[in-house]
């Protein structure tokens, strides 16, 4: 055999090896695309079409029902005024049930109002001229009527 024939054979084998290697590689179309999951803040901003301010204390509220509901509670105490806003992406209630908001401090619970449907989600705004920062817990409940305590907690969180 001549040296030229050996080199030609080696070149052909190398070219075949490269072709086989690239042929067995998955195409870019076959790659698995992992869906991007939104943070609670991003999801709330998307549902309500608004930007959450940076100058407030905020917490994410955890779903207690397993239905994929989310919420964000924000509070601020400034100029002797306490402001609490809860934005939530909730399942529509059945019958006469309403979503209610509560603040919790140890064993004490304070009712802060009913949610209203607005901009595709549920919102509760509460203002009082009293410092309630010692109430660390936030509860969103689904109740037949407003009472002294929440009937069925659906979202919860703590500052």
Reduced to 3 states, what is the DSSP secondary structure of residue 11? helix
How far the first Cα of the chain sits from its last, in Å, is 83
Q: The domain spanning residue 50 has which CATH number?
A: 2.60.40
Q: What is the pLDDT of residue 34?
A: 59
Tell me which residue of 130, 159, 122 sits closest to 44, measured CA to CA. Answer: 122
The domain total for the chain is 1
Q: What is the pLDDT of residue 21?
A: 74
Domain that holds residue 64: 40-158
83 part of a folded domain: yes
148 part of a folded domain: yes
* CA dist., res. 62 & res. 157, Å (int): 6
Q: Among 43-57, 99-113, 115-129, name the one with the lowest average pLDDT.
A: 43-57
11 part of a folded domain: no
pTM passes above 0.85: no
79, 110 Cβ separation under 8 angstroms: no
Phi, psi of 8 (to 5 degrees): -65, -45
32 part of a folded domain: no
10-29: pLDDT as tens digits: 678 777 777 777 777 666 65
């Amino acid at each position: 055999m001549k040296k030229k024939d050996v080199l030609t054979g080696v070149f052909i084998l190398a070219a075949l090896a490269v072709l086989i290697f690239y042929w067995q590689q998955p195409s870019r179309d076959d790659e698995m695309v992992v869906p991007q999951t939104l943070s609670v803040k991003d999801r709330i901003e998307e549902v309500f079409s608004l930007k959450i301010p940076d100058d407030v204390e905020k917490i994410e509220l955890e779903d207690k029902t397993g239905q994929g509901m989310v919420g964000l509670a924000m509070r601020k105490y400034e100029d002797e005024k306490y402001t609490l806003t809860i934005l939530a992406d909730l399942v529509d209630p059945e019958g006469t049930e309403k979503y209610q908001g509560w603040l919790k401090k140890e064993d004490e619970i304070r009712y802060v109002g009913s949610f209203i449907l607005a901009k595709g989600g549920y919102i509760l705004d509460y203002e009082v001229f009293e410092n309630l920062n010692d109430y660390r817990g936030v509860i969103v409940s689904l109740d037949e009527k407003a009472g002294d305590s929440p009937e069925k907690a659906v979202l919860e969180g703590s500052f």
